[in-house]
Each structure stands twice: as C-alpha cells, then as structure tokens.
C-alpha cells in the first residue's frame, strides 16, 4: 500500500523533495485501515506535517478510503527521553492520529568519513566549535556602545540556555564587533563548561551545508548533528534573505533547540524589525529573547580598543598617534584596526618610528575626506558641538549671546580655513552680507587678544579641526 502511496506522492512533488523526505520513510505495518510508517526523527515528522500533510491525507484517502489512517513511528533521537509517548497529530482534520514511539536508535555508525554530520554510535559527540580563540571577553573592550550586548553576552555565557536571553540577538553595522562578541560567548562557555557542545556557524556556511546535505541526501544526519548542539551561534542571519528553504529549515532547528532549552546566539546587521526578506515567523522567534545592539564606539572607546590591540601585540605607539587614528577613523572598528596595522607595517618596512606627522602621511588613504578641504558645514558642526548649541541656531536670526558667539567663531574659522569668499560665508551662515563677516572676524580677533578663556576656546576648536 505504501508503495502505491509513494507513487502518487512522487507524481505530485519535486524529485528532490521526494528523495529527501519520502525515500527515508519505511512502511512498518498495515493493520486494518491503519498504515504505520517509520520516520527517522521527530524533526522529520514535523517537517512532513508542516509541508505535506494535505498531500498525505489525500493520498491515504485515495488508497485506504475514508477509514484510512496514518500512524507515525518516530525514531527517537539519542538526546531525547526514552519514555514512549503519544501525541495527537496537531493538524489532522480527518486524517489520522499519530503515535510517537521510542525505539532503540539505529544511528548510522560512520562508514563514510566525509560525511560531517553522522553521529557516532553512543559515544559522546565531539564537535569542533569553530571558534577563533582570540575573540574573548577580555579582548572585547567595553564602552557605552556595547555595554548592554556585552553584559547580556556575559550572562548567557554563565548560564547558557538558562536566562531569558534566548535567543540572544546581537545586531549592528559592519565591523562593530558582532562576530567577536558572539564568539567570545562561545569561547567563555567552552572554558567554563567544556562539555557543552558549542558550534559557531555563519549563515552562509549553514546554507552551503544544507544545500550539500540535500544533494547528498543526508538531511537526516544534518538535522541530528544540529539538534545535538547545546549552544548554537548563527552569524549574520540577514544573509538568510531570499533563501527560503534554508530559512525554513533553520526555523525548525531553531525551534527544536529552543524547546530543549539550548542556547541560541544570533547576529545580524539590523534589528529584527528591520530585517527584510526574512520570514515573519522566524523574525518573531528572534524577538523572543533579547536584542542588543552594537553602536559605533565613541572616541574614548576607540582609543581604548587601539590601546588594547597594541598591548596584545606588544607594540608601542605614542598617545597622540593613537588619538589621531582614533579621531579620524570613526565608523568601524575593523577599519580602525586595519589603519593601525597598516601604519605598523609601513613603519617596520621603513624602519622609522611613527610620529604624528608620519601617521598623518601614512593614513591619507584611510582617512576619508583627507584630501578634501574643510567645509563650512564641518566647522559649523564642530563649533556647535563644542559650545553645545543647537546646530540650526547658528544660521538663525537670534541675537542670543552664546549663539552670536558660536556664529562669529564659525565665520572666523571659515575665513581662516576654507577658500570660501566673505560673501559665500555670509550667505552660508544665515544669509548675512559680507560686512557682517568682516565684523565677526574682527570681533573674534579682538577677543583672542584680550580674553584668555576665549582664546582657549578657539584654540581647542582649531585643534579639533586640524585633527581631521
């Protein structure tokens, strides 16, 4: 009977799906109108239920009539409880009721070494966690930009699966430390709980493995392998976009792990709500735990990261060079490190010690806008930041003292550091005429001569301007 069912099914689904999901099924027995089939895992059963229940129902009806029923016998995975249990099939309108039974596990003993997913007999599974040992918490410099993510990571590492941060979702832009932090959690768990099976995998690699498993027809081993993991770190899930099948598959693995109290750590370049191209149900899972973002580190943290890196490598570098690098490369930790590495490499090659001038010269390619002239916008933003006045006020008509001062200094700096004409400076700062600019410059110069504090302000801002 099952064979004729298979014929019908085969005609109705793609060959690949048939091979993956129906060929591994064994018909066990036919009793009355109840057909019992054996599937290799609970995962398999759920997959059939979700994707093929309609087809199965129709097929059974066709072959066995209205009375026909289908029962599943599931080969229980090693890690699951050995107690037999029975459950009703969740979605069986008129189909059948299913029975899960535990059975001794005929897990394939590995004959084919090349297959990475085969779980060896009853031995304890040994998984290479695929972690980079340099990505530790000690090496992950703390700052306002990462405090929440870092401490959540710490909590997860102390109690994998045992916090409400499951999954822990770490998100943020390129080069801000997602992979580092996610791996630090893995490394920390391996250190304190060496028996935990930790696995780091990028979304791309997972996809590739999935495709290969389909091709070589060992989905079941693939599933068993992933379900044995205690701590799964899935990096860059935004890359699941557009890969529907892989996503679907990951969704099921996610559920299984989550249900068995395993820890999931996920990284992505956007917050779950902003991830386009991912299935809603997967996104909703991501929101179950905690989402913590990594932001661009502030100057102080960037300097600390550089100092830490220098310390790791046993190199010395003067403080003003560090400050110069940290000041100018301000969007991405990876670039920050890259700039420094290239600086060090060049200094070794030229056998020259790195002073600020050399650093400036060498970093020309790294520092954005370095060849461009300083813009009035930039001056305006520096001045406003320095005096903590709202940026739009400078261009307004207000005569408030501190605004007037910021405006006059901005004009003075614009005349000194840009090639703009008096007319265009006046125009830029709120549509004023050139005589206003002349007056502003005169006022600033007078104050520099007579007011020490004021002189200090201007010098500070000018220093910042020169840094860039």
In DSSP terms, 34 is beta-bridged to 31, 69
Q: Give the interface size with ligand ADP as a residue count (CB under 6 A).
A: 17
Q: Which is nearer to ligand ADP, 89 or 336 (CB)?
A: 336
Q: Which does 459 bind (CB under 5 to 8 A by kind): ligand ADP, Mg ion, none?
A: none
Q: CA 433, CA 425: separation in Å to the nearest integer?
A: 9
Q: Which is nearer to Mg ion, 166 or 179 (CB)?
A: 179
List, in order, residues 6 or more apart from 398 with CB less than 8 Å away.
Answer: 404
Q: Which does 141 bind (CB under 5 to 8 A by kind): Mg ion, ligand ADP, none?
A: ligand ADP
In angstroms, give the least distance from the CB of 344 to ligand ADP.
15
Which of 38, 166, 179, 239 is close enough to bind Mg ion by CB under 5 A? 179
Which of 40, 129, 175, 272 is close enough to bind ligand ADP by CB under 6 A? 175
In angstroms, give the least distance from the CB of 137 to ligand ADP.
10
For residue 179, state whether it binds ligand ADP (rule: CB under 6 A): yes
List, in order, residues 6 or more apart from 32 with CB less than 8 Å away.
Answer: 67
Q: Give the interface size with Mg ion as a residue count (CB under 5 A).
A: 2
Q: Which phi and psi angles does 246 have, rounded to 5°?
A: -65, -40
Segment interacting with ligand ADP (CB under 6 A) among 138-146, 159-167, 215-223, 431-439: 138-146
Q: Which is nearer to ligand ADP, 266 or 458 (CB)?
A: 266
Which of 95, 177, 272, 426 is close enough to bind ligand ADP by CB under 6 A? 177
In angstroms, give the least distance from the CB of 294 to ligand ADP.
7
Q: Which of residues 328-387 bind ligand ADP (CB under 6 A)?
A: 333-334, 337
Q: Which is nearer to ligand ADP, 98 or 301 (CB)?
A: 301
Q: Which of residues 36-65 bind ligand ADP (CB under 6 A)?
A: none
For residue 176, state whether it binds ligand ADP (rule: CB under 6 A): yes
Other beta carbons less than 10 A from residue 299's beta carbon: 12
Q: Which is nearer to Mg ion, 133 or 401 (CB)?
A: 133
In angstroms, give the least distance from the CB of 211 to ligand ADP.
23
Other beta carbons less than 10 A from residue 345's beta carbon: 11
Q: CA 242, CA 92: separation in Å to the nearest integer?
A: 31
Q: Which is nearer to Mg ion, 135 or 210 (CB)?
A: 135
Q: Which two tokens stand for residue 364?
A: 């020309």
Residue 120's alpha-carbon distances to 105, 125, 224, in angstroms, are 11, 7, 11
Q: Which is nearer to Mg ion, 9 or 169 (CB)?
A: 169
In DSSP terms, 73 is beta-bridged to 38
Q: Which two tokens stand for residue 26?
A: 């064994």
In DSSP terms, 172 is beta-bridged to 294
List, in order, residues 6 or more apart from 354 with CB less than 8 Å away.
Answer: 317, 318, 321, 343, 344, 347, 362
For residue 200, state whether it binds ligand ADP (rule: CB under 6 A): no
Which of 48, 56, 141, 376 is close enough to bind ligand ADP by CB under 6 A? 141
Which of 5, 105, 160, 178 is close enough to bind ligand ADP by CB under 6 A? 178
Q: Which two tokens stand for residue 38?
A: 């054996």
Q: CA 219, CA 40: separation in Å to the nearest integer?
A: 10
Q: Which does 223 bind (CB under 5 to 8 A by kind): ligand ADP, Mg ion, none?
A: none
Q: Which does 174 bind (CB under 5 to 8 A by kind): Mg ion, ligand ADP, none?
A: ligand ADP
Segment interacting with ligand ADP (CB under 6 A) among 28-36, 171-179, 343-351, 395-403: 171-179
Q: CA 461, CA 413: separation in Å to the nearest integer?
A: 9
Q: CA 339, CA 325: separation in Å to the nearest integer?
A: 8
Q: Which is nearer to ligand ADP, 64 or 333 (CB)?
A: 333
Q: How far is CA 37 from the centre of its chain?
A: 41
Which residue's Cβ has the minimum distance to ligand ADP?
Answer: 177
Residue with tokens 């066709």: 62
Q: Which does 110 bind (CB under 5 to 8 A by kind): ligand ADP, Mg ion, none?
A: none
Segment interacting with ligand ADP (CB under 6 A) among 66-74, 168-176, 255-263, 372-380: 168-176
Segment interacting with ligand ADP (CB under 6 A) among 172-180, 189-197, 274-282, 432-440: 172-180
Contact 235, 200 (CB under 8 A): yes
Q: Which phi and psi angles does 397 have, rounded to 5°?
A: -95, 5
Q: Are strands 85-86 and 99-100 parallel, antiparallel or unpaired?
A: antiparallel
- Over its C-alpha atoms, the chain yields an Rg (Å, rounded) of 32
Segment interacting with ligand ADP (CB under 6 A) among 49-57, 137-145, 205-213, 453-461: 137-145
Residue with tokens 């790294």: 366
Q: CA 166, CA 37: separation in Å to the nearest integer?
A: 35
For residue 326, state whether it binds ligand ADP (rule: CB under 6 A): no
Kind plus residue range of the DSSP H or E element containing 169: strand 168-172
Which residues of this chain interact with ligand ADP, rule CB under 6 A? 139-141, 146, 172, 174-180, 305, 308, 333-334, 337
Which residues of this chain interact with Mg ion, rule CB under 5 A? 178-179
């Amino acid at each position: 009977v099952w064979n004729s069912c298979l014929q019908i099914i085969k005609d109705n689904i793609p060959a690949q799906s048939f091979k993956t999901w129906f060929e591994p099924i064994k018909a066990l027995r036919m009793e009355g109108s109840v057909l019992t089939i054996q599937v290799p895992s609970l995962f398999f059963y759920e997959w059939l239920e979700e994707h093929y229940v309609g087809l199965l129902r129709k097929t059974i009806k066709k072959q066995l009539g209205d009375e026909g029923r289908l029962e599943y016998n599931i080969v229980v995975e090693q890690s699951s409880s050995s107690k037999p249990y029975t459950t009703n099939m969740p979605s069986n309108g008129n189909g059948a009721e299913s029975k899960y039974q535990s059975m001794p596990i005929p897990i394939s003993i590995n004959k084919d070494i090349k297959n990475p997913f085969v779980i060896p007999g009853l031995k304890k599974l040994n998984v290479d966690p695929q972690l980079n040992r340099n990505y530790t918490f000690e090496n992950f410099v703390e700052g306002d930009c990462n405090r929440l993510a870092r401490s959540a990571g710490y909590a997860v590492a102390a109690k994998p699966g045992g916090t409400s941060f499951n999954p822990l979702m770490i998100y943020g832009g390129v080069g801000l430390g997602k992979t580092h932090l996610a791996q630090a959690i893995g490394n920390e768990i391996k250190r304190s709980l060496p028996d935990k099976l930790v696995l780091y995998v990028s979304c791309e690699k997972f996809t590739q493995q999935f495709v290969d498993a389909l091709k070589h027809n060992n989905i079941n081993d693939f599933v068993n392998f992933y379900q044995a993991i205690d701590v799964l770190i899935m990096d860059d899930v935004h890359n699941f976009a557009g890969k529907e099948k892989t996503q679907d598959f990951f969704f099921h693995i996610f559920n299984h792990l989550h249900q068995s109290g395993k820890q999931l750590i996920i990284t992505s370049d956007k917050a779950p709500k902003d991830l386009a191209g991912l299935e809603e149900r997967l996104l909703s899972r991501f929101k179950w735990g905690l989402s913590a973002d990594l932001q661009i580190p502030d100057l102080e943290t960037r300097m600390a990261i550089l100092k830490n890196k220098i310390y790791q490598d046993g190199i010395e570098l003067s403080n003003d060079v560090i400050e110069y690098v940290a000041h100018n490369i301000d969007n991405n930790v990876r670039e920050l490190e890259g700039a420094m590495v290239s600086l060090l490499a060049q200094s070794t090659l030229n056998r020259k010690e790195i002073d600020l001038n050399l650093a400036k010269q060498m970093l020309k390619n790294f520092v954005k806008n370095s060849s461009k002239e300083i813009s009035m916008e930039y001056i305006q933003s520096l001045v406003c930041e320095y005096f903590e006045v709202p940026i739009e006020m400078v261009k307004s008509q207000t005569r408030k003292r501190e605004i007037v001062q910021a405006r006059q200094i901005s004009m003075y700096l614009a005349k000194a550091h840009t090639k703009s004409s008096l007319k265009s400076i006046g125009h830029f700062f709120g549509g004023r005429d050139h005589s206003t600019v002349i007056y502003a410059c005169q006022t600033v110069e007078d104050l520099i001569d007579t007011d020490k504090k004021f002189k200090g302000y201007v010098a500070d801002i000018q220093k910042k301007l020169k840094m860039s």
